[in-house]
């Protein structure tokens, strides 16, 4: 009997280019990502942190931080609340995996279809993002994560590599507008300030 494996539908649509390059900077939808939120239940914060340490193979991130473990990544969303990320092809049922390991200590919610994840890479990104958000992107270090607004769209901005790689998560229903805003800022910044770092 054949084994069928479904692939997640791209938030930007099947016709969208995998990656768009603008003057050495690129933007692409990260389609291979599984997402789940974890919120500790009342009085169980220490238990959840201990369990996440086992899952992530590192400490759960504190406020404003993003960590990458062996097989999972995570960023802080609020007191005793985290978003957990993993490769979709290896962790399609991420939320179920987390529920099994966290048990009654936390509430876990699958977020796969709730978000679009965009990876923006290049060498002039702070100059681009200072036009898009009030977050102080010039001071964001690798491993930082902030909740902010881009073109009136609430999102999480993760600094994967300082000045060179940002990962953004926004509501899936805003995917095309969000992508367009970032792409426009990439183009206009590089046109106006070709030498700006």
The CA distance from 23 to 165, in Å, is 15
CB 138 within 8 A of CB 126: yes
Q: What is the mean pLDDT of residues 62-84?
A: 97
Between these two residues, 65 and 7, which has the higher pLDDT value? 65
Q: What is the pLDDT of residues 16-54, one digit of tens each?
A: 778 898 888 999 999 999 999 999 999 999 999 999 999
Q: Is the pLDDT of residue 197 over 60?
A: no
Q: What is the pLDDT of residues 155-192, one digit of tens each?
A: 999 999 999 999 999 999 999 999 999 999 998 887 65
Torsion of CA 144, 63, 81, 142, to 10 degrees: 10
Residue with the two structure tokens 């936390």: 106
Residue 85: predicted pLDDT: 98
Token pair for 64? 């404003």
CB 174 within 8 A of CB 153: yes
Residue 123: predicted pLDDT: 85
Residue 22 forms beta bridges with which residues? 25
Domain positions in the chain: 19-31+114-192, 34-112
Q: What is the pLDDT of residues 89-134, one digit of tens each?
A: 999 999 999 999 999 999 999 999 899 999 999 988 999 999 999 9
CATH class of 34-112: alpha beta
Q: What is the topology classification, in CATH, of domain 19-31+114-192?
A: Gyrase A; domain 2 (3.30.1360)
- Look at the alpha carbons of 180, 181, 187, 188 in this order and tell me if their dihedral is positive or negative: positive
């Amino acid at each position: 009997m054949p084994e069928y494996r479904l692939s997640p539908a791209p938030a930007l649509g099947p016709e969208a280019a995998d990656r768009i390059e603008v003057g050495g900077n690129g933007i692409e939808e990260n389609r291979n990502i599984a997402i789940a939120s974890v919120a500790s239940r009342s009085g169980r914060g220490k238990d959840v942190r201990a369990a996440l340490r086992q899952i992530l193979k590192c400490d759960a991130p504190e406020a404003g931080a993003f960590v990458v473990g062996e097989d999972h990544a995570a960023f802080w969303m609020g007191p005793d609340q985290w978003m957990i990320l993993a490769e979709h092809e290896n962790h399609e049922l991420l939320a179920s995996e987390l529920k099994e390991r966290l048990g009654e200590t936390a509430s876990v919610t699958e977020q796969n279809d709730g978000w679009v994840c965009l990876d923006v890479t290049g060498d002039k990104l702070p100059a681009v993002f200072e036009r898009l958000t009030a977050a102080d992107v010039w001071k964001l270090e690798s491993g930082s994560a902030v909740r902010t607004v881009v073109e009136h769209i609430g999102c999480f901005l993760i600094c994967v590599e300082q000045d060179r790689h940002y990962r953004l998560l926004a509501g899936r229903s805003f995917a095309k507008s969000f992508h367009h805003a970032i792409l426009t800022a990439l183009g206009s910044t590089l046109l106006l300030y070709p030498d700006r770092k």
